[in-house]
Amino acid sequence: MYRFLLTPRWIALHIVVLLVIPAFVLLGRWQFGRFEERSANSERVTANIEAGPVPLDRLAAPDRPVRQDDRFRKVTVTGTYDPAHALVVRRRPQEGRNGFYVLTPLVTGQGTGVIVNRGWVPAGPTADAPPEVPPPPTGQVTVTGRLRPGETEESSGITNRSGLPPGQVLLIDADAIGKGLPYRLVGGYVELTAQQPESAAAPAPVPAPDVGAGGGLNLAYGIQWWLFIGIAIGGWILMIRREVAERRAADDASATPKEPEGAAN
């Protein structure tokens, strides 16, 4: 009765099922791994955002770059802005509009400084036109902001290039920016959230990061892939049972004797 399972058509089906099941297992495990990774990242970033501010030098220095685990941690730093070496970062949309981030080094003394992202300004009439940037306050200021590691092409997804207009960059890369400065920069930057004293006019604040659902979609996809395993096995069994039922019905029909013609007369 079950010899049909060894026919070429059924052997091909067995092979497909046996290949699909481990593939779905691996895809499910990969999605569960992404869920754990993103959930851990979401919890870490949320904790950093909610934590109270600490002095910048506790977490970063020119010879101590910002760690990934300290992303978005609130820090405070006091110094004097250096508008002579200010820059703007191209291709930074905000609220559906194209614009620039405004970078101004904050000199903290003893030959050191840190890049401060003071916020966002809209783009000018053309891509190469310099935007209108409110000047930073003069004198000593105390900045509070979110600590960020320096950007790279890999971390940002932005391809860097040369030949930009003066004062414009594509990446917030403290190492590259610091090459033209008379002081050493912290290996990261601070995303300004508050400042004392406040400026009369200032760029628009950069929104807080969207922590997201912590990998909830990955969890759903992982469960989905493992449900497909049950569907594949269940469909395979159902097809075998249906084939067996059809063959039994055909055998029963062929075994039933036919009534002789005219027997009813």
In the predicted model, what is the mean pLDDT of the chain? Answer: 87
Whole-angstrom distance, CA of residue 202 vs CA of residue 189: 18
pTM of the model: 0.72
Q: Are 103 and 172 in contact (CB under 8 A)?
A: yes
In this prediction, residue 264 has a pLDDT band, given cuts at 50, 70 and 90, of low
Nearest partner of 74 among 215, 209, 213, judged by Cα: 209
- The DSSP code sequence of 82-118 is -GGG-EEESS--BTTB-EEEEEEEEEEETTEEEEEEE
Residue 114 scores a pLDDT above 70: yes
Beta bridge pairs of residue 78: 142
In this structure, which amino acid lies at residue 74?
Answer: K
| For residues 118-129, average pLDDT | 86
3-state SS assignment for residue 164 = coil
Residue 254 scores a pLDDT above 80: no
Percent of the chain with pLDDT strictly greater than 70? 92
pLDDT at 157: 87
pLDDT single digits (tens) 179-224: 989 999 999 999 999 999 988 899 999 998 877 665 677 778 888 8
CA 3 to mean position of chain CA atoms: 52
Tokens of residue 193, six digits:
């959230």
| For residues 44-58, average pLDDT | 90
Which helix (DSSP H) or strand (DSSP E) does residue 131 occupy? none
